[in-house]
Structure 1
Amino acid sequence: MRITLATFLSLDGVMQGPGAPREDTSDGFGHGGWQFPYADQELGTYGTTWFAEADGFLLGRKTYEIFANYWPTVTDENDPIASSLNTLPKYVVSTTLDQAEWRNTTIIKSDVLKEIAELKARPGRELQIHGSGVLAQSLLDHGLIDELRLWTYPVVLGSGKRLFEPGRTATALRLIESRTTSSGCVLSVYRPAGEPTYGDFTQEG
């Protein structure tokens, strides 16, 4: 299976708490719900298209708990996102979670990279990561993510957890697709392209 990552980012790279004021207030984050003013039809269209490609989900504990508190309450069988999340296998990476009541959930507690590499080697379409910043950073550093789908919104927050924190493994990316939605969000789809290459403008000519 391919491992894909989809996440929402502010213009200064913050991914924390986009959906609601109390979604993630850790470290005193006070900007929760920053994505809401920019919600538009394109978000739902692309989300539905991508969720249709999932054969499973790989989530960090915090994102898993946010999803598990909401999506099982959506019982509309015609909702493609709820249907995918509620029925397909879910793998949550956590050293503190002892049990998971959400249907079809497996907890990964140890040998995380090995376990995920084995999942990736299975036949299938996509094993999707949504949010899950700490997990996503680790998998990016170890070259386990095949595609990044980044929604960048026209807002600067100035604080909060970022997807690309200092210390990340240097990686070149290849742009596969780019679109701008009606609310000014830029959707960019990237695939890893190995190590960065470098040059020197002063040596040209």
Structure 2
Amino acid sequence: MRTLMVTAFVSLDGVVQAPGGPDEDRDGGFTHGGWAAPYIDDEVIARATGFAARADALLLGRRTYEEFAATWPLAPADDPIGSRWAAVRKYVASRTLTSVSWQNSTLLDGEVPNAVAELKKSEGGEIQVHGSGQLVQTLLAHDLVDELHLVVIPVLVGSGKRLFGSGTLPGRFDLVAAATTRSGIVVGRYARAGGLTYGAVGPETGNW
């Protein structure tokens, strides 16, 4: 079974909308686009490069696919992330696209949850989801996410699309790796660890 990892730049208050630029996603009149950019330094880029090298495939929603397809091919030939994205198979979840032209791209057939579940059963390595907020909500609601790679930026955005919506299923994750950067970012990698567990803590329980 292939591992499906969701990676996201996320603010302290859970916003994932348009971290990279003003015009990335203005849905809902969002005016804070680019909130993560001031924190992206050479250290963060080096970490992103190492992370990208692990990807065997990308799974993208329509908006993120179109953004990637319009920008990453412009990267220099020796750019490690751009060359990796060009090489790997890219699976696109969209109800509106009828074709995809970026090399090694394929439109998913049928309902997204079923198509992704079958994709995870196929031969290959890690499947990475970048951006694709609406797609991530679908994956979480159908328990298809195996790992979370969260790049937490020390800002409060206040409005915008959140990483975890009302359809998120309860569950536990183990912290696999963690690091901080000079710019104040906290990077965490979490692996799914089963269902949510419960307990009690306080002086009256003896667990204090």
If the length of structure 1 is used for normalisation, what is the TM-score? 0.94
Shift of 1:17: 0.3
Q: Percent identity?
A: 47
- Give the secondary-structure state (helix, strand or coil) at the position aligned to 1:191: strand
Shift of 1:125: 1.6
Q: Which amino acid aligns with 1:9?
A: V
- Number of aligned residue pairs: give it: 204
1:170 is matched with which residue? 170
1:14 is matched with which residue? 15
Q: Which amino acid aligns with 1:170?
A: P
Shift of 1:109: 4.6
Q: Which amino acid aligns with 1:136?
A: V
Structure 1: how far apart are the matches of 2:167 and 2:71?
A: 33
Q: Which amino acid aligns with 1:8?
A: F
Runs ≥4 residues deviating over 4 A: none
Shift of 1:165: 2.0
The answer on 1:27 being equivalent to 2:10 is no
Structure 2: how far apart are the matches of 1:53 and 1:167?
A: 29
Aligned pairs (5 A) from 1:25-174? 25-74=26-75, 76-174=76-174
Judge conservation of contact 1:150–1:189 (CA < 8 Å) in 2. Answer: yes
- With 28-37 and 132-141 compared, the bigger mean Cα shift is at 132-141
Judge conservation of contact 1:40–1:181 (CA < 8 Å) in 2. Answer: no
Over the aligned positions, Cα root-mean-square deviation in angstroms equals 1.3
Structure 1: how far apart are the matches of 2:109 and 2:161?
A: 23
Structure 1: how far apart are the matches of 2:185 and 2:123?
A: 34
Q: Which amino acid aligns with 1:48?
A: T
Q: Which amino acid aligns with 1:51?
A: A
Change (3 A) 1:167 1:5: closer
What are the ranges of 5 or more consecutive residues in structure 1 without an aligned counterpart?
none
Q: Which amino acid aligns with 2:140?
A: L
Shift of 1:85: 1.0
Judge conservation of contact 1:94–1:109 (CA < 8 Å) in 2. Answer: no
Judge conservation of contact 2:140–2:167 (CA < 8 Å) in 1. Answer: no
If the length of structure 2 is used for normalisation, what is the TM-score? 0.93
- Give the secondary-structure state (helix, strand or coil) at the position aligned to 2:4: strand
- With 56-65 and 139-148 compared, the bigger mean Cα shift is at 139-148
Aligned pairs (5 A) from 1:187-198? 187-198=187-198
